Amino acid sequence: MKKLLSLTLVVVMALSLLTGCAQPAPAPSGEPAAPAEEEVIKIGVFEPLTGANAAGGELEMEGIELAHELYPEVLGKKVDLIVVDNKSDKVEAATAAARLVEKEKVVAIIGSWGSSLAMAAGDIVRNAKVPAMGTSCTNPLVTQGNEYYFRVCFIDPFQGVVMSNYAFNGLGAKKAAIVQEVSNDYAVGLAKFFTDNFKKLTGDENSIVAVANYNTGDQDFTAQLTNIKAQNPDVIFAPGNFTESALLIKQARQLGIKTPFIGGDTYETPEFAEIGGDAVEGVVFSTFFATEKPITSESTKFLDAYKAKYPGKEPAAVTALGYDAYLILIKAIEQAGAADSASIHKALLETKDFQGAAGVVSFDENRNAIKSAVIKTIKDGKFTFMDVVEP
Amino acid sequence: MKRNTIYTGTALLLLFVFVYFANKHLDSYLLRILNLCAIYTVLGLSMNLINGFTGLFSLGHAGFMAVGAYTTAMLTLPIATKQMNFFLAPLISPLDKIVWPFLPSLLLAGVLAAIVAFLIGAPVLRLKGDYLAIATLGFSEIIRVVFTNTQTVTNGALGLKGIPATTNLWWSFGTAVVTIFIMVSLINSSYGRAFKAIREDEIAAESMGISLFKHKVLSFAIGAFFAGIGGGLLGNLMGTIDPLMFRFFMTYNILLIIVLGGLGSVTGTIISAFIITIAQEFLRFLDEPIIPNIPALPGLRMVVFSILLMLVVLFFRTGLMGTREFSWDKFFGFFKKRPLSNGGAK
Amino acid sequence: MKFYLGGVYMTLELFLQHLANGISLGSLYALIAIGYTMVYGILRLINFAHGDIFMMAVYFAFFGVVTFGMPWYVSFIVAIALTGILGMTVEALAYRPIREAPRISILISAIGASYLLENLAIVIFGGRPKTFPQVPIFTDMVQIGNIHIQKLTFMIPAVTIALLIVLMYLINKTKSGMAMRAVSKDFETAKIMGVNVNRTISFTFGVGSLLAAVGGIMWGLKFPSILPLMGVMPGIKCFIAAVIGGIGSVTGAVIGGFILGIGEILLVAFLPELSGYRDAFSFILLILILLFRPTGIMGEKISEKV
């Protein structure tokens, strides 16, 4: 009996220890958030800083940090960025988001590169009623049915349509081939909407002459490209991650394929031009902003600050989106005049014509950014402005 | 014996009370970590059955989890959500009309994973050591590639979202307790002894009349069954899944748990599932700027983590528990004043 | 000449282009598979870290050229030497202390070493891809008729064959080679015969890593985007190549590399709708080989020791 007692004691002590240290925050979750009287405003960031998507995470962090340096304060309070790594892992991404919401008590969240990781946070931000601002997660599912998820980028359908219009009207293409990164939701979505609209434009069910797939991380595309070469298309649409796309186009040129390549906003990454070298000259893609023709005054500010901080480097499109994601939250806090989640959420829903570095943003009913697309090409190794397409 | 049953009952009761209060009072972050701990316990046990108790070095766990997670998700997703998910290519019939409750979905997930394991295991389990490892790794990659490419069934790379978040502490801890009981009774049965015999020496086991094929496939399929259930629980905890979730790293995480806990110890697996899941979160401070004015090194956490793992493998090869197990006798023997000579052993 | 096969339109020219692509890829696989097979032949251990040693080599070469401004040939030699040292270090730290342990521990240690190298690379080199320097004498294209072939395609087999000859000499004619063969047959007996087992294994690891470095540099020249996780897939693929050829056999590794490379390309060529399943193909090939000819094409029979 004595033993039983001691055992019970031990277990109870262990449990109370667990629950005790687990609950440092006294605020019960049911009541409304404490009035914003703290000295700092906490904004959470969850990005893949390690693992397979580390490159994308790093690019976006550059933008978020830059914006934080330029706008370190709002409502006279310091803004604290709480960055957590989601390891490019979905399970970890959900835990990271829960940590931001519960442990760090952030008022809003930014992230993440990769729609799959953003979706992992979806339920958490909705349940906690903390608004989340997606950066470059273009999968329509991210914001669908989740009134707390927003994003500063346009989504796949728009971009697919823009590029198919360009292929048909701008290039006069009648036959198109598609090479897609089949394990990447972004690429699959873009390819699908491109296909649908291109078929409609040409009025020809067979206007897509070839569809080839590859997987994330693949490096050899010669087989797919040789097949496409045999079909002799007028244009090749190749949505995918920038590393793979650069290698793909390089190999296409090496195989003597002279067909123009077009793609999406992932192309606007300095590494794309660097890895691709001469091969990506003349590649056309849709993206968010242009250096030569700054859409907003914020674009100029962003570009100047970026060049000052990273001399000799060009910002990537997703860097600008990271910048905007931070800035739009700051503006929402300013507009709301309060820094609690509910006010920010309300202000975000009302946001209209936000002047971001990567374009003017208003949200549609699914909280996706409605913004114009910029069509760019690569000329002498530089991203060069071609055209603006209004939504 | 009877005394021990009372103790076990008391411990379960305490766990029940703990879950009851935790569910009520903890925030969603801590709940999530606790849920993950329990799910990783299930996954760790299932992998330990194959790798630790039967000595088959299998790296195919992520594949079985994927089968389980997708089965549960497809069966529990409400019809409207299915339509929302499959906006690129419609879902094939009859999956688009079926909605099952959670428990039968979870069980079917386990069964399907076990069937897949049987189909894979029947030919592959003849292989040994690292050949088996690479072949099972291959199969799990094949499963992932197939799921990526069959858009009308799995929604491909887009993944699924809006899976009902049914998994809570009752489900996860309940499943973990059931799994522990099944594992312990299995291991102490004649099957369990045969598994261990195969682990120690295949040829000797075979000459004792143990059917290698039957027992290996059995162990593999049971392991996969629980892996499928673990995958299903995980999917319904996350609310969203996609094929990339089930890369080799997933298997690797579970491997880590069983190595740290001790290959061939149920107790060790449970302890290390909790330790590793909590430690991964705890070590997060390493990713933050530690010394002022020196920028943070994201990824340092993972470096430290991999070094810790290497140290365990190199210097504490048997892990926390080796093949030892918890028992009430040992537990009290530990507290009792031990006679000097027999060190508390009975 | 035109023909249809499986509904795919194919001309001789097209087929030859595919074949050239396949040979180009296959020769790379072959080169890296040799290193795998050497280590396996001696330790009977899948060196999971091989792919990551390979990745490190590419980074070394990159930094040599870009950061330190060395001419490419100097940088490549330095990178190869450094990688050899790295391989020996990995062996000394991760494999030597547990040589007597059960195989499962050694395998786990191997996976752990690979994981550690990847995470280190992310922290040190960053996650963004870097562009491997282009050396025109390797990377230029040659056009024969309508078939385009990179110069590397001719050089890689030449390098492979040259290395093969050196290796054959090393293994069969030198004292170290004799020690390597002795250790691969039987640890204990070799030890009794006065072979320094640890030194021999370390030496083998060094040579295996040198080969990984040569393969890595060639890989970097052909696929000039380098990432911390770039070694994972090539590592697995080349292991598959080594198994197909018969692990432990150097010539087998070369044959296996070519089979895998050409097979992958021809799969996509003739069944384009299966292009998304390309990685699955390699694994299916591996499993089929393991089931029906576990010793591979050139492998020797291993009988079970009681």
B41-58: per-residue pLDDT in tens? 999 999 999 998 998 989
Tell whether B158 is within 8 A of chain A (Cβ): yes
Average pLDDT, chain C: 85
Phi and psi angles of residue B59, each rounded to the nearest 5 degrees, phi first: -120, 30
pLDDT band at C5; cut points 50, 70, 90: low
Question: Can you tell me the distance from the alpha carbon of B60 to that of B127, in angstroms, rounded to the nearest whole number?
Answer: 14
Is residue C2 predicted with pLDDT exceeding 60? no
With a CB cutoff of 8 Å and minimum separation 6, the contacts of B226 are B42, B43, B45, B46, B49, B110, B179
Is residue A8 predicted with pLDDT exceeding 60? no
Hey, is A126 helix, strand or coil? helix
Phi and psi angles of residue A83, each rounded to the nearest 5 degrees, phi first: -100, 125
Phi and psi angles of residue B135, each rounded to the nearest 5 degrees, phi first: -70, -40
pLDDT at site C172 = 86
Is residue B228 predicted with pLDDT exceeding 90? yes
Give the angle B266-B270-B272 at the CA atoms, nearest 5°: 115
Structural domain span for residue B239: 26-335
Question: Can you tell me the distance from the alpha carbon of C18 to that of C22, in angstroms, rounded to the nearest whole number?
Answer: 6
pLDDT band at A9; cut points 50, 70, 90: very low
pLDDT at site A28 = 40
pLDDT band at B109; cut points 50, 70, 90: very high
pLDDT band at B129; cut points 50, 70, 90: confident
pTM to 2 decimals? Answer: 0.88
User: Tell me, what amino acid is at A11?
Assistant: V
Phi and psi angles of residue A75, each rounded to the nearest 5 degrees, phi first: 50, 30
pLDDT at site B335 = 65
Is residue A2 predicted with pLDDT exceeding 60? no
Q: Among C24, C227, C269, whose Cβ lies nearest the Cβ of A243?
A: C227
- Whether residue A309 lies inside any domain: the answer is no
A334-359: per-residue pLDDT in tens? 988 888 999 999 999 988 888 888 88
Write the CATH number for A211. 3.40.50.2300
Is residue B59 predicted with pLDDT exceeding 60? yes
Q: What is the mean pLDDT of residues A202-210?
A: 89
Of A192, C123, C291, the C-alpha closest to B120 is C291
Q: Which two tokens stand for residue A250?
A: 């390089």
Q: Which range, A52-56, B211-215, B287-291, B341-345, has the best average confidence (pLDDT)? A: B211-215
- Whether residue A8 lies inside any domain: the answer is no
Out of A60-69, A206-215, B276-285, least confident range: B276-285
The answer to whether the CB of A339 falls within 8 A of the CB of A75 is: yes
Q: What is the DSSP string of chain C?
A: -EEEETTEEEEHHHHHHHHHHHHHHHHHHHHHHHHHHHHHHHH----TTHHHHHHHHHHHHHHHHHTS---HHHHHHHHHHHHHHHHHHHIIIIIGGGTTS-HHHHHHHHHHHHHHHHHHHHHHH-SS-EEPPP-HHHH-EEEETTEEEEHHHHHHHHHHHHHHHHHHHHHHHSHHHHHHHHHHH-HHHHHHTT--HHHHHHHHHHHHHHHHHHHHHHHHHHS-EE-TTTTHHHHHHHHHHHHHH-TT-HHHHHHHHHHHHHHHHHHHHH-GGGGGGHHHHHHHHHHHHHHH-TTTTTPPP-PPP-
Which carries the bigger pLDDT value, residue C266 or residue B328?
A: C266
Cross-chain residue pair A275–C225, CB shorter than 8 Å: yes
pLDDT at site A291 = 66
Is residue B236 predicted with pLDDT exceeding 90? yes
Of C275, C286, A217, C94, the C-alpha closest to B137 is C286
Of A47, A70, A43, A44, the C-alpha closest to A59 is A47
Q: How far is A319 from chain C (nearest CA, A)?
A: 13
- Whether residue B5 lies inside any domain: the answer is no
- Whether residue B31 lies inside any domain: the answer is yes
Hey, is A281 helix, strand or coil? coil
C271-287: per-residue pLDDT in tens? 888 888 888 888 998 88
pLDDT band at A292; cut points 50, 70, 90: low
- Whether residue B6 lies inside any domain: the answer is no
pLDDT at site C105 = 79
Q: How many CB pairs under 8 A join B and C?
A: 106
pLDDT at site A333 = 92
The domain total for chain B is: 1
Q: What is the DSSP letter of A101?
A: I
B287-337: per-residue pLDDT in tens? 777 666 666 677 788 888 888 888 888 888 777 777 788 877 777 776 665
Is residue A18 predicted with pLDDT exceeding 70? no
Cross-chain residue pair C279–A215, CB shorter than 8 Å: yes
Whose tokens are 């799995």? That residue is B154
The answer to whether the CB of A194 falls within 8 A of the CB of A237 is: yes
Hey, is A118 helix, strand or coil? helix
Q: List the single best residue of C5, C32, C229 to mutate versus A (max A Cβ within 10 A).
A: C229
User: Tell me, what amino acid is at C24?
Assistant: S
Cross-chain residue pair B88–A15, CB shorter than 8 Å: no
Phi and psi angles of residue B344, each rounded to the nearest 5 degrees, phi first: 85, -5
pLDDT at site B345 = 43
Q: Which residues of chain C does B298 touch, with a Cβ-Cβ cutoff of 8 Å?
A: 123
Beta strands in A164-259 (DSSP E): 176-181, 208-214, 235-237
Cross-chain residue pair C127–A50, CB shorter than 8 Å: yes
Cross-chain residue pair A91–B245, CB shorter than 8 Å: yes
Cross-chain residue pair B142–C283, CB shorter than 8 Å: yes
Question: Can you tell me the distance from the alpha carbon of C250 to that of C247, in angstroms, rounded to the nearest whole number?
Answer: 8
Which carries the bigger pLDDT value, residue B11 or residue C59?
A: C59
Q: What is the mean pLDDT of residues A231-252?
A: 92
Out of B7-11, B106-110, B236-240, least confident range: B7-11
Is residue B340 predicted with pLDDT exceeding 60? no
Q: Which two tokens stand for residue C151?
A: 């110069």
Is residue A286 predicted with pLDDT exceeding 50? yes
- Whether residue A376 lies inside any domain: the answer is no
Q: List the single best residue of A123, A125, A241, A244 to mutate versus B (max B Cβ within 10 A).
A: A123
- Whether residue B346 lies inside any domain: the answer is no
Q: What is the DSSP string of A346-358?
A: HHHHH--SEEETT
The domain total for chain A is: 2
pLDDT at site B336 = 64
Out of A178-182, C99-103, C199-203, least confident range: C99-103
Tell whether B32 is within 8 A of chain A (Cβ): yes
- For residues A123 and A179, membership in a common domain is answered with no
The answer to whether the CB of B79 falls within 8 A of the CB of B97 is: yes
End-to-end CA distance of chain A: 77
Which residue in C has a C-alpha nearest to residue B138's C-alpha?
A: C283
Structural domain span for residue A87: 40-154+321-371
- Whether residue B7 lies inside any domain: the answer is no
Phi and psi angles of residue C3, each rounded to the nearest 5 degrees, phi first: -150, 160
Cross-chain residue pair B14–A8, CB shorter than 8 Å: yes
* CA A246 to each of CA A195, A241, A277, B135, B182: distance values in angstroms, whole numbers, following the listed order: 22, 9, 9, 32, 52
C193: exposed, middle or buried (Cβ count in 10 Å: 0-12, 13-18, 19+)? exposed
pLDDT band at B185; cut points 50, 70, 90: very high
Is residue B273 predicted with pLDDT exceeding 60? yes
Write the CATH number for B128. 1.10.3470
Question: Can you tell me the distance from the alpha carbon of A269 to that of C134, in angstroms, rounded to the nearest whole number?
Answer: 20
Q: Among C9, C14, C268, whose Cβ lies nearest the Cβ of A224?
A: C268
- To the nearest whole percent, how much of chain A has pLDDT over 90? 32
- How much of chain B is in helix, strand and coil states, percent to nearest 5? 75, 0, 25
Question: Can you tell me the distance from the alpha carbon of C270 to that of C281, in angstroms, rounded to the nearest whole number?
Answer: 13
Q: What is the mean pLDDT of residues C247-271?
A: 88
Q: List the single best residue of A216, A222, A231, A269 to mutate versus C (max C Cβ within 10 A).
A: A222
Cross-chain residue pair C276–B142, CB shorter than 8 Å: no
Residue B291: Cβ within 10 Å count? 7
C161-174: per-residue pLDDT in tens? 888 888 888 888 88
Q: Which residues, numbered 190 to 249 in chain B, qualify as contacts with chain A under a Cβ-Cβ cut-off of 8 Å?
A: 234, 237-245, 247, 249
Hey, is A109 helix, strand or coil? strand
pLDDT at site A115 = 85
Q: Among C276, C277, C291, whose Cβ lies nearest the Cβ of B123?
A: C291
Which residue in C has a C-alpha nearest to residue B126's C-alpha?
A: C291
Which carries the bigger pLDDT value, residue C107 or residue B138?
A: B138
Is residue A60 predicted with pLDDT exceeding 80? yes
- For residues A199 and A228, membership in a common domain is answered with yes
Is residue A17 predicted with pLDDT exceeding 50? no
Which carries the bigger pLDDT value, residue A2 or residue A230?
A: A230
